[in-house]
Copies of this chain bind each other. A is one copy, B any other.
Amino acid sequence: MFENMDMLWAGISIVISIIAFGIAFYFYKWILKQPTANEKLKSVGQLIRENSFKFLKKEYSILATFVIIVSIIIILVFPTPLWSESASFANNFVMAIAYIFGSFFSALAGWIGISVATIANVKTATLAKKDIKDSFVCGFRGGAVMGMAVVGTSLLGAALLYIITGNPDTVLAFSFGASSLALFAKAGGGIFTKTADIAADLTGKVELGIPEDDPRNPAVIADNVGDNVGDVAGMGADLFDSNIAAIAATIVIAIPLGQVAILFAFASLGLLASIIGVLCSRIGKNGTPSKALNNGTYLTCSLFAIFTFIATYLCNFEMRIWGASIIGMIVGVIIGITSDFFTGDNKKPVKKVAESCQKGPAFTVLSGFAYGLLSALPALLGIGIAALASYKLCEPLNLIYNTTGYELLGISMSAIGMLSIVGMIVSNDAYGPIVDNARGLAEMGDLGEDVIKVADELDAAGNTTKAITKGFAIAAAGLTVISLLAAFMQVVESKTGVQTGFDIMNPTVFFGALVGVAIPAVFSALLIFGVNKNSQILVEEIHNQFKKDPGIKEGTSSPDYGRCIVLATRGAMRELLPASLVAIFSTLAVGFVGGVEAIGGYLTGNILSGLLLAMLMSNAGGLWDNAKKYIEAGNFGGKGSEAHKAAVIGDTIGDPFKDTAGPSINTQITVVSLVSSLSAELFLLHSIF
């Protein structure tokens, strides 16, 4: 019976994925039908769109080379090296195909997201002339296309692979393809967007005192392109990666237990709930954009709980597993709310940091950094509680079925529960850069002050949700990598036939942990260096443009936007590989030196420090950003005051923290976990110790 159930729910997953694509296509058509205000707006919008695609093409062409190289390596050594006795060429070949498939889907989701976002921004700006409600719907639907594409492709891919191969290794390879591409997309897009943002701010706001998005600024188009390639494609890739990794880990754990059906049931019902949530998100009477976004999220959560409860009841699934999923979902929401506390602009931390800006930039940085450190506690505690509670809740099932593994299934289903609402989360998140762009377009397209005000309101809502989304994304990645760690153990056990564990008192495990702790730090450092270096190059270019043609500053001649974009792209491409490769190669080095025990410790260290640094950087960055906005709203002297100058410095420091390094760490820990699981057999065969 289980066998049929599996296939039934995998089939339903495919159907619901296709419905999600249908909704996305409907939204896309709807957005296309909306009007465009004027020719100038159209041409600026076109400029952003073209250059976003130019960046994406450049990035994908580099990544294609990487994918080809890795595919060849996979054919040679994964899951079993061809030189090993038990090797099968066909097996390895299927793995490579699954890997390519994963990379392609991840790239596709990013491409779809950008395609729609770079039309929706223009339409949203235009609709803002008419009404905030329509404008909101347009921005949100633009984001929802990305949301539907991300969850649809990940679920479709996993379900298809499971039906065709039934082999957990191929799903891991699919996930690895998606994650490694996501890592590059996040790192590359993150470096690009912050390079442009910092350079635009320093030369425009700080030096010239002109407003954000002023067309006199040579980096202004690059900045808007960055919102798309960094935030839409990058953040989408991040959650795509967590989502597919959680599914892959659960499949690995669920297959021996014959519990794959519940995974596909919950994942597909989560997508269904998100679809309904997305369709219902609009501003009601007396409503605000923030309320509309939050209500959509809460609706999705409630529907998920109800749907899965009914499915559990009807299909005779275990109620304890349902409970584990709900724990994950609730903890995810709570962690999102605590992130909001640390970064929300009406909360104490932001006000305190804004206040300390009056005493100079050193205090701005110190207080924001200290709050960032504090903010790690609730998230780490939440992840710990979710993992512990879901484990303990599902442990008794082992007795009933006289087996082991249900406790680990509990953890991984908790991650699935947390990620159930990911369709809604990505929609909320991609909404942010679209309305941010719309604001810029309203300014550059001369749509007038009223429109800018509406766009500002939409943008503010986007910023608040962004904080919640980021906390959520980190928590989801945390729980996912814990289940990936469990999956790694499962893989090792299935290959060796021996039950393993990773005892901290084993010095090889501890050695691995010490190295693992350092990797997210090194990874972040390399990304920060990348942003640093590139934005300095870009600032120089802008200064040169100003020097060559003084008319640019006066607004009488047009700056060379294209040159800035080329420089930012080139820099991002140069810097995106080293950080990512360091993470992958250090994993292989630890594995080949210390074997699976060292890798167990390494993954643990990596997860622990990765979560700490990700929370620290994301929240400190968000906090500085909002402290600056709080001062700009007229507090502590407002714009142009000494406090504001200090706040701008804090914000600039926070830029690569929150949009480059911080969110990339999620993906880094997932990729490292997947590399480990895939290489488990290799490490068993060839490690030195």
Binding site for B on A (CB under 8 A): 198, 202, 206, 356, 359-363, 365-367, 369-371, 373-374, 376-377, 380-381, 383-385, 387-388, 391-392, 407-408, 411, 482, 485-486, 489, 501-515, 517-518, 521-522, 524-526, 528-529, 531-532, 536, 539, 600-601, 604-605, 608-609, 611-612, 616, 649, 652-653, 656
Contact yes or no, B366 A524, CB < 8 A: no
**Pairs of residues from A and B, 3 with the lowest C-beta to C-beta distance, nearest first:** A384-B514, A362-B652, A373-B525
Across the interface, A518 reaches (CB within 8 A) one of B369, B376, B517, B536, namely: B376
Q: Other than A362-B652, A369-B653, A504-B600, give 19 A-B pairs with Cβ distance below 8 A.
A: A356-B536, A360-B652, A366-B528, A367-B529, A370-B524, A370-B528, A373-B524, A373-B525, A374-B525, A380-B514, A381-B514, A384-B510, A388-B508, A391-B507, A501-B505, A503-B504, A504-B601, A513-B608, A649-B649
Contact yes or no, A536 B371, CB < 8 A: no
State the CA gap A376–B356 with chains docked (Å): 30
Among A363, A381, A392, A411, the one with the most B-chain Cβ atoms within 10 Å of its Cβ is: A363
Residues of B within 8 A of A609 (CB): 517, 608-609, 612
Across the interface, A612 reaches (CB within 8 A) one of B356, B521, B539, B656, namely: B521
Chain B nearest CB, measured from A130 CB (Å) = 40
Among A385, A536, A608, the one with the most B-chain Cβ atoms within 10 Å of its Cβ is: A608
Chain B nearest CB, measured from A391 CB (Å) = 4
For residue A385, which residue of chain B has the nearest CB?
B511
State the CA gap A499–B211 with chains docked (Å): 67
Chain B nearest CB, measured from A621 CB (Å) = 11
State the CA gap A517–B365 with chains docked (Å): 22
Known A365-B653, A525-B370; judge A515-B407 contact (CB<8 A): no
Chain B nearest CB, measured from A677 CB (Å) = 14
Residues of B within 8 A of A600 (CB): 504
Across the interface, A363 reaches (CB within 8 A) one of B411, B524, B532, namely: B532
Contact yes or no, A359 B539, CB < 8 A: yes
Contact yes or no, A380 B504, CB < 8 A: no
Contact yes or no, B374 A515, CB < 8 A: no
Chain B nearest CB, measured from A450 CB (Å) = 34
Chain B nearest CB, measured from A487 CB (Å) = 11
Chain B nearest CB, measured from A352 CB (Å) = 9
Contact yes or no, B518 A604, CB < 8 A: no
Residues of B within 8 A of A482 (CB): 510
For residue A363, which residue of chain B has the nearest CB?
B532
State the CA gap A202–B506 with chains docked (Å): 49
Across the interface, A381 reaches (CB within 8 A) one of B506, B518, B616, namely: B518
Chain B nearest CB, measured from A204 CB (Å) = 14
Residues of B within 8 A of A411 (CB): 507
Residues of B within 8 A of A360 (CB): 202, 206, 649, 652
For residue A523, which residue of chain B has the nearest CB?
B373
State the CA gap A538–B269 with chains docked (Å): 59
Residues of B within 8 A of A513 (CB): 604, 608
Contact yes or no, B502 A504, CB < 8 A: yes
Contact yes or no, A507 B356, CB < 8 A: no
State the CA gap A296–B427 with chains docked (Å): 64
Across the interface, A502 reaches (CB within 8 A) one of B363, B407, B503, namely: B503
Residues of B within 8 A of A514 (CB): 380-381, 383-384, 387, 608, 611
Ordered by A's residue number, 19 sampled pairs between the chains whose C-beta atoms are within 8 Å are A202-B360, A370-B532, A373-B522, A376-B521, A380-B518, A384-B511, A387-B507, A387-B510, A391-B507, A485-B505, A486-B505, A489-B505, A501-B506, A502-B505, A503-B503, A503-B504, A504-B600, A517-B611, A609-B612
